[in-house]
Amino acid sequence: MFPILYLLFATVLCNGEFMRPPPGKMILTRHAESSSYPQQVHISAVGTDHMRVSWITTDKRVPSIVEYGTDSGTYDMTATGEHTSYRYFSYVSGKIHHVNIGPLLPDTVYYYRCGRVGDEFNFKTPPAVLPIDFVVAGDLGQTEWTASTLYHVNQSDYDMLLLPGDLSYADTQQPLWDAFGRFVEPYARKRPWMVTQGNHEVEAFPVLHDLHPFAAYNSRWPMPYQESGSPSNLYYSFDVAAAIHVIMLGSYTDFDSNSAQYNWLVADLAKVDRSKTPWLIVLLHVPWYNTNLAHQGEGESMRKAMEDLLYKARVDVVFCFYI
């Protein structure tokens, strides 16, 4: 059985020539509920049988607790997690909750409630074995184009979304990270979304040393990096469906041959047992080969550093975005 991959590109082909469609109008999603009501809910896979539930409340008193179970309205299980927040100039984020729940059964619908407040949500866990349906979609933003992309994503009963960079296009305007979280929530709270970073996630100001890059991204979208022995949320790997090893690389952190990412990648590839996980998939933002007129040559130094590693490891497929 093959993993099925749906590729979604906001591109138009006209007589074989690429025509970049005009930018879509932004859709600003607002929070209409109380300050304790969970907003921006999304889930991500942690290991093969846990899920991280993430959400934000402006009310700081809401506990980082998820109640869950396999029957609607009956929560046999409760898990307590952690919370964080961050500052960016005058912006102060809400309380960002992250709760790891499990062990969970594969291919099963779970019903859950965040912070003991608000409505019940549900998600489906990925299958234990192939086949599995992935959606690969990057450069999302929050425009009419994004709405169209997500509408089409939702037409399939996919198992997991893989996002190779560029989420909100907030570009330092932090309230746009909140608007993006609300925009994608109806989809991202139902299926695990596994992301890696793009150029729009960096948001660094080199002159201000206390303003670390990736502040919003790392606070809002933590991925299971510790579980794969990675020292950074900017690159990690995981197994899914007992047959696929997915590697998420970081285009915007060091990748040369004496970098932490390079050393981690060498170690991670060495651990892959192709008799157990015959499929090896890599995602990163900046393509190493590029026929687009934009961004020419930008992936070249990373290609020179890492292509040989991936080639020798006989990676099956690499997905990039950066339109």
Ligand X SMILES: *[C@@H]1O[C@H](CO)[C@@H](O)[C@H](O)[C@H]1NC(C)=O
Chain residues in the site for ligand X (CB under 6 A) = 154, 186-187
Can you spell out the DSSP letters for 274-296?
TTT--EEEEE-SS-SS--SSTTT
Note if 295 is an active site residue.
yes
Contact 307, 288 (CB under 8 A): yes
> Nearest approach, Cβ of 110 to ligand X (angstroms)?
17
Contact 154, 180 (CB under 8 A): no
The total number of residues written for the chain in this structure: 323
Specify the residue, 70 or 154, whose C-beta has the smaller distance to ligand X.
Answer: 154
Specify the residue, 148 or 226, whose C-beta has the smaller distance to ligand X.
Answer: 148
> Nearest approach, Cβ of 158 to ligand X (angstroms)?
11
**Would you tell me how many other CB atoms lie within 10 Å of the CB of residue 233?**
22
Would you state the structure tokens that stand for residue 217, as one six-digit string? 């991204």
What is the side-by-side strand order in the sheet with 244-248? Answer: 236-240, 244-248, 279-283, 317-319
- Provide the H-helix boundaries in the chain: 144-153, 175-188, 215-220, 260-271, 300-312
> Nearest approach, Cβ of 111 to ligand X (angstroms)?
16
> What is the Rg, in whole angstroms, of the alpha carbon atoms belonging to the chain?
19
Give Cα separations from 248 to 235, 271, 281 (angstroms): 5, 15, 9
Specify the residue, 146 or 218, whose C-beta has the smaller distance to ligand X.
Answer: 146
Residues forming beta bridges with residue 77, ordered by sequence position? 68
Specify the residue, 72 or 263, whose C-beta has the smaller distance to ligand X.
Answer: 72
Nearest residue (beta carbon) to ligand X: 186
> Nearest approach, Cβ of 154 to ligand X (angstroms)?
4
Match 């022995």 to its residue by tokens. Answer: 229
Specify the residue, 112 or 279, whose C-beta has the smaller distance to ligand X.
Answer: 112
> Nearest approach, Cβ of 25 to ligand X (angstroms)?
19
Could you list the active site residues? 295
